[in-house]
Amino acid sequence: MIQLRNALDIFTLLMIVTTILLLIYTITVMLMQRSKNKVTATPKVVTKVGCMQNDYSAEREYSKGDYVGLEVGKCPKCGNSLFVEAIYTVSNVKGKEIAS
């Protein structure tokens, strides 16, 4: 009787442990999958403008129609032409999606 109880106990215990391990594994995989599927923030697009004389440069939000080499006004320091120097995204900053 004691032997039978022991045998059944070990078997039952094994089943319980296996079930718990399987449950833990399934939950872990589901959680990992969920964290992978997280939507990343849209990076912010900025336009860097600069003066021909290299005495002024500033970053501003990208506006439709900007391209590198575009004349965008006069330099606030020397009055020479101000051009778009670069357009790039800044990572890890949540911003608006560029207009299509």
Partner 1 sequence: MDGGTSSDTWYLLLLAMFMISFMLNFTDIPQRIQLWRFSSYVRRRLIQIDEVESDVRRRLISYLSKLNISTPKEVIDNFMNNYFLIEPVNIEPVDIIKRLSHLINVRDTNIKMYAEKYMPGLQKSERYNATVALEIASAINTVNKILKHYFKLGLKNNNWILLMQLALEMPNIIRIVNSYSKALDAFFSGVPIGDGAGPLLVRYLVGRAEPKYLAEDTVYYEVVVDGRKVYAVKAEGPGATVGKPGEAVEKLVEMLGGSVARIITVDAALKLEIEDTGEVAEGVGAAIGDIGPEKIGIERAATKYGIPLDAVVIKMSLEEAINVMTKDVYEGVLKALERVRRIISNICEGGSIIVIGVGNTVGVL
Asked if residue 86 binds partner 1 (CB under 8 A), the reply is yes
Asked if residue 78 binds partner 1 (CB under 8 A), the reply is no
Nearest approach, Cβ of residue 23 and partner 1 (Å)? 20
Distance CA 51, CA 79 (A): 9
Name the DSSP letter for residue 47.
E
Task: Assign 45 to helix, strand or coil.
Answer: strand
Asked if residue 10 binds partner 1 (CB under 8 A), the reply is no
Asked if residue 33 binds partner 1 (CB under 8 A), the reply is no
Q: Beta 71-74 vs 57-61: how paired, if at all?
A: unpaired
37 close to 29: Cβ distance less than 8 angstroms: no
Nearest approach, Cβ of residue 45 and partner 1 (Å)? 6
Burial class (CB in 10 A: 0-12, 13-18, 19+), 13: exposed
Residues in 39-68 that interact with partner 1 by CB under 8 A = 43, 45, 52, 62, 64-68
Residues that bind partner 1 (CB under 8 A): 1, 3-4, 7-8, 11, 43, 45, 52, 62, 64-70, 86-91, 97-100
